[in-house]
Structure 1
Amino acid sequence: MSLGRFLISKTFLKNLLFALLISIFLIFLILIWLKLYTRHGQKKEVPDFYGLTVKECQSLIKKGHFVLVVQDSVYTKEVPAGAIVEQNPKAGSMVKKGRKIFLIINAFHPEVIPVPYVVGYSLRQAKALLESNGFQVGKLKYVPDIAINNVLKEMYEERELQPGDSLEKGVSVDLVLGKGLSNEKTPLPDFTGMTLEKAEQVIISTALNKGAIVYDSTVHDAKDSMSAFVWKQSPAYKEKEDLFVPVGSSIYLWFTLDSALLPVPDTLTIEEPPVPNEK
């Protein structure tokens, strides 16, 4: 039988059709297997674990069959010891069922490290050095001295620190600074709309002290406090007035999440039409 006749014979066509059906069936099985293996279309939303312990998260991970993996620990005062401070993927992300969620938890015991000795440094240099080593600048006390804004003493809980002293990482260190030999004053900033982090930066940079911090009823937890903003301050800032306060003065701040409490700027202006020139 010639090749041409074989290709159009019933036997060849029957075997070809059978082979095609087998191929289609195998492809169909492979697609089903891939769909089951990759869980295509079965994405779940990652819960928000911030502030919870790993044990408290167990009820949240059942639906998505997530696997929690503690990757590291840091020390912070924002959440209780053992609570979660960071997660990856972030809350709200859409991931496949069974995905590993990597966690960073708050250490049970703070790390104790040497404190940089900043006596003799300027306030700006001392602040940068302390913060780069994991400490915060606390209260600023100004005393008469020819070295304006230079650190004269470094204090922690009323104790003067010495070179080589160690403290818990993250604590605030108080500084005694020179204010010159006259009554120095500094401009009063407008803190309206600032977060606490930004307000603290401005307070330090303007040689002032942070007084009491008050949160209203819209702020419920540490996470809210990070997003809250200043709606009132004391001493009060008055627009179009150059206000000065003594260096080292305490600034009291009130925080909220309610933007309706922010002052509305008076931007309404009425322009009169130009008067035509008379000829």
Structure 2
Amino acid sequence: MSKFFLYLQTAVFRKNLIGGLIFLLFLFVLIYFGLQMYTKHGDSQEVPVLKGLHISKALEILDQAGLEYEIDSVYQLDAKPGIVIDQDPDPQSHVKSGRTIYLTIITQSAPEIAFPEIIDKTFIEASAILKNHSLKIADTSYINDIAKDVVLDVKFAGQPLKAGRMVSKGSNISLILGNGRGDSEVEIPNLVGFSLDEAKFALAGVGLTLGSVSFSDGIKDSINSVIVRQNPDTSARIISIGSAVHVTLSKPSTPSSTVPQTP
């Protein structure tokens, strides 16, 4: 132990101690300035606002700022293609030069999806399903069927569309719905003002028959008379095919003639 303390008092120890301290100081300075350069301490800039800009303008701004970028894309119905809708880091954040900014833009190409099953769904149910699949209802039409407001058929671009077929998001879909009447019922035509022959023709065209014929003025002249009343009338709206419609005839009213006076 006494030799150790004697060694501490020698010039060799002092020289080694000074050399070690100088090495540690040099190592500290090297690490300090190395980290400064690696982390770019003091080299900070604000991330520009890119949301809402077209991608070409956004990239021009990033190039001028010395920032890198990566681009992802999503599809949104009725949105303008090429617009930046999201960025990371957020606007006005402070980053080092060369930092990568992640952009999300609206793509122009609509992705395709499998068309959902909506046959036998009500119009309300079908509308909700189509909306969830980013599809639009172009128009609706009705055919005779006892299922009221129920989807009976679907068309796309004028052609039948089956569940599972791939269609682009945003496509316009046409729906064929039931009117709740069925094939055995028709609307009652308005026969008032028709001649008897015209009434027979109109009734036959919708599958109805002519019932009893009566005359309101007592003059049984079916050729020169027109229908003034019918039973059932159009207020009933719907009648079964094959039913009879009863009519009342009367001579058409004519404007009174003016007799010129003798001067």
Q: Give the TM-score taking structure 2 as reference length.
A: 0.51
Paired amino acid for 2:162: P
1:162 corresponds to which residue?
161
Instruction: Label 1:71 to 1:137 Cα distance change in 2 as closer, same or farther (>3 A).
Output: closer
Name the % identity: 27
Corresponding residue of 1:101? 101
Q: CA 1:175–1:169 in structure 2 vs 1: closer, same or farther (change >3 Å)? A: same
Residue equivalent to 1:268: none
Q: Is the 8 A contact 2:139 2:175 kept in 1?
A: yes
Distance 1:10 1:105 in 2: 72
> Is the CA contact (8 Å cut-off) linking 1:117 and 1:162 kept in structure 2?
no
- Residue of structure 2 in register with 1:70 after alignment: 71
Distance in 2 separating the partners of 1:70 and 1:169: 22
Choose 16-25 or 160-169, whichever is displaced more.
Answer: 160-169
Q: Which amino acid aligns with 2:19?
A: F
Report Cα offsets for 1:227-265 as digits up to 9, x if no partner: xxxxxxxxxxxxxxxxxxxxxxxxxxxxxxxxxxxxxxx
TM alignment of 1:1-279, pairs within 5 A: 2-62=3-63, 64-74=65-75, 76-80=77-81, 82-123=82-123, 125-132=125-132, 134-138=133-137, 147=147, 150-154=150-154, 159=158, 161-163=160-162, 167-173=167-173, 175=175
Deviation at 1:174, TM superposition (A): 5.5
Matched with 1:262 is none
Q: Which amino acid aligns with 2:14?
A: L
Task: Please report how far the alpha carbon of residue 67 of structure 1 lies from its aligned counterpart in structure 2 after TM superposition.
Answer: 1.1
Q: 8 Å contact 1:76–1:106 — kept in the other structure?
A: no
- The alpha-carbon distance between structure 1 residues 3 and 112, as it changes in their structure 2 partners (threshold 3 A), is closer
Q: Which amino acid aligns with 1:21?
A: I
* Offset of residue 88 of structure 1: 3.3
Deviation at 1:111, TM superposition (A): 3.4
After superposition, the CA RMSD in angstroms is 3.7
Amino acid at match of 1:28: V
Return 5+ residue gaps in structure 1 as ranges: 182-279
Q: CA deviation at 1:26?
A: 1.5
Structure 1 residues 21 and 130: alpha-carbon distance in aligned structure 2, compared to 1, 3 A threshold? same
Give yes or no for contact 2:67–2:99 (8 Å, CA) kept in 1: yes
Aligned to 2:238: none
Superposition deviation, residue 27 in structure 1: 1.0
Closer/same/farther in 2, CA of residues 146 and 87 from structure 1, 3 Å limit: farther
CA contact (8 A) 2:75 2:107 kept: yes
Which consecutive unaligned segments of at least 5 residues does structure 2 have? 182-263
Q: Aligned pair in 2 of structure 1 residues 101, 40: CA closer, same or farther (>3 Å)?
A: same
Query: Which region of structure 1 is more displaced relative to structure 2, 15-24 or 134-143?
Result: 134-143
Cα distance, 1:66–1:162 mapped onto 2, change above 3 Å: same
Distance 2:77 2:41 in 1: 39
Whole-angstrom CA distance in 2 between matches of 1:28 and 1:124 = 73
**CA displacement at 1:34 relative to structure 2:** 1.0
- 1:63-94 per-residue CA deviation (whole Å, 9 max, x = no partner) reads 542112234453543123x3434433343443
CA offset digits 1:20-60 (Å, max 9, x no partner): 13212221221111121122453433333334344322332
Give the letter aligned to residue 88 of structure 2. Answer: N
* Number of equivalences: 178
Between the aligned partners of 1:93 and 1:147, the Cα distance in structure 2 is 59
Looking at structure 2, the residues matched to 73 and 127 of structure 1 have their Cα atoms a distance apart, in angstroms, of: 24
Structure with max Cα Rg: 2
Q: Secondary structure at the match of 1:13?
A: helix
> Aligned partners of 2:57, 2:25: CA distance in 1, in Å?
49
Displacement of 1:7 in angstroms is 1.0
